[in-house]
Amino acid sequence: MGEPIARQIVAGSPQAQALNQAGRAPVRFVPQRDLPDGQAYEDYIFSTAQVPTREGLHDFFNALCWMHFPLAKKRLNQLQAREIARAGVGQVRGPVRDAATVFDENALLIQPSDALWDALTEHRWADAFVGLRAEWPQTRLWAFGHAALEKAVQPYKSITVHMWRVPLSLAPADIDAWLAQDLTADKLSRKPFSPLPVLGVPGWWAANEDPAFYEDTRVFRPHRVKARAEKPYANQEILPLA
């Protein structure tokens, strides 16, 4: 889906125009200058069904996510707009908006076995990536976060995403509808994320064929419960927010 649009942009079409021509999103993409001064980005999307879009990869990947996950993206926007209506914008987003933004920018959907999920969330990296390596070809993954996708264009070892578990029983065609229901304010406020150094995924980076790849504790860090309690996401890389 993305390659034909990218070719139009490279050929000189304005990014918003090329994205709209694809006709695959429940919103229209408009130039960033259409966002009125003083109006919050998410509030503008909610009230107009238009997404202010800058030239460049970050907003390009955001638009592709709107095309692939229209119901989930709409749900995230509704949650953001509801919180803005309730509490205003302010300097601090609050727990729901903060978590929704982290998800929007950096989520990776994963459909693992119980054994693999436990190993990943407990940061037993050798078990997850070496001991259970045979499970990865059957483990489905969907990149959702557009900031994570942008970073993957020029990959480096420490790129870290936030995993969101998808039930094994769910068919791929049902992911978007399920996710739109699963993304609740209550669940997001509890920040149910777990970090994944994404280039550790077998087959995604040639260097990880060597088991020693996972011994780098600067990237594959041990679980630190206290650090998470003191400061959310203290034990993982945070990607820049839009």
Query: What residue ranges do the domains of the chain occupy?
Result: 2-100, 106-230
Question: Can you say whether the dihedral through the CA atoms of 214, 145, 64, 181 is positive or negative?
Answer: positive
Cα separation, 233 vs 158, whole angstroms: 14
Q: Using pLDDT thresholds of 50, 70 and 90, give the confidence band for residue 167.
A: very high
| Of the ranges 10-24, 87-101, 228-242, the best mean pLDDT one | 10-24
Residues 6+ apart with CB under 8 A from 224: 234, 235
Let me know the angle formed at the C-alpha of 52 by 70 and 192, rounded to the nearest 5 degrees: 50
Exposed (0-12), middle (13-18) or buried (19+): which is 208, by Cβ within 10 Å?
Answer: buried
pLDDT at 235 over 70: no
Q: Does the pLDDT at position 127 exceed 90?
A: yes
DSSP helix, strand, coil percent of the chain (3-state; round to 5): 55, 10, 35
Q: What is the pLDDT of residues 6-57, one digit of tens each?
A: 999 999 999 999 999 999 999 999 999 999 999 999 999 999 999 999 999 9
144, two tokens: 């959702």
Whether the predicted pLDDT of 234 surpasses 60: no
> pLDDT band at residue 89, thresholds of 50, 70 and 90?
confident
pLDDT tens digit sequence for 181-229: 999 999 999 989 999 999 999 999 999 999 999 999 999 999 886 544 4
pLDDT class of 151 with cuts at 50, 70, 90: very high
Nearest C-alpha neighbor of 105 from the set 159, 70, 145, 76:
145
pTM above 0.75, yes or no: yes
Q: Confirm if 165 and 133 have CB atoms less than 8 A apart.
A: no
